[in-house]
Every structure is written in C-alpha cells, then in structure tokens.
C-alpha cells in the first residue's frame, strides 16, 4: 500500500471516528470515545439507526485498511 493511500485511509478513519462520536453524543451526551469501542453496551446507541449507519461506514474503512495491510 502506498503511503499516500495509507495516509488518506487513516484520515478517513479519524474523520469518521470523530463524526461517530458527534452523533453518539447527540443521542447520549455522556458517551466517551472509549464507549464507542463497545457501543452495544449502550442501548440508546445500539438501537439508533443513524448511529448504526455511521458505525457501519467506520467498520468498512477499518476492513479496507485490514485487507490492504494483509495484502502486503
């Protein structure tokens, strides 16, 4: 994986994590970034379609990163 692609992917992941935390805090203001590692422990997040959608996007970015690293 070229450095440019890896840098772009890391930027996308960081941006999506920040966006996800923003959405999570609109749903449950007490949520921390660490809470997002186990979102199903928080029913308000686990059952919210907007949060689930954005979490799916993050999961996709992370899957792409893992696949690219594994292909090296």
CB 8 within 8 A of CB 15: no
Q: Is the pLDDT of residue 41 over 90?
A: yes
CB neighbours of residue 40 within 10 Å = 8
* φ/ψ of residue 26, rounded to 5: -70, -35
Distance of CA 8 to the CA centre of its chain: 15
Q: What is the pLDDT of residues 3-34, one digit of tens each?
A: 889 999 999 999 999 999 999 999 999 999 99
The Cα 3–Cα 14 span in angstroms is 16
In this prediction the pTM is: 0.90
* pLDDT average, residue stretch 39-63: 96
| Over residues 50-62, mean pLDDT | 97
Start-to-end CA span in the chain (Å): 7
Tell me what pLDDT residue 57 has. Answer: 98
Number of domains, the chain: 1
For 42, the domain range is: 3-70
């Amino acid at each position: 994986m070229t450095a440019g692609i890896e840098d772009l992917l890391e930027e996308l992941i960081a941006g999506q994590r920040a966006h996800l935390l923003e959405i999570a805090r609109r749903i449950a203001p007490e949520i921390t970034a660490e809470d997002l590692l186990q979102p199903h422990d928080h029913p308000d997040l686990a059952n919210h379609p907007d949060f689930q959608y954005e979490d799916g996007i993050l999961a996709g970015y992370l899957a792409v990163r893992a696949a690219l690293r594994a292909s090296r």
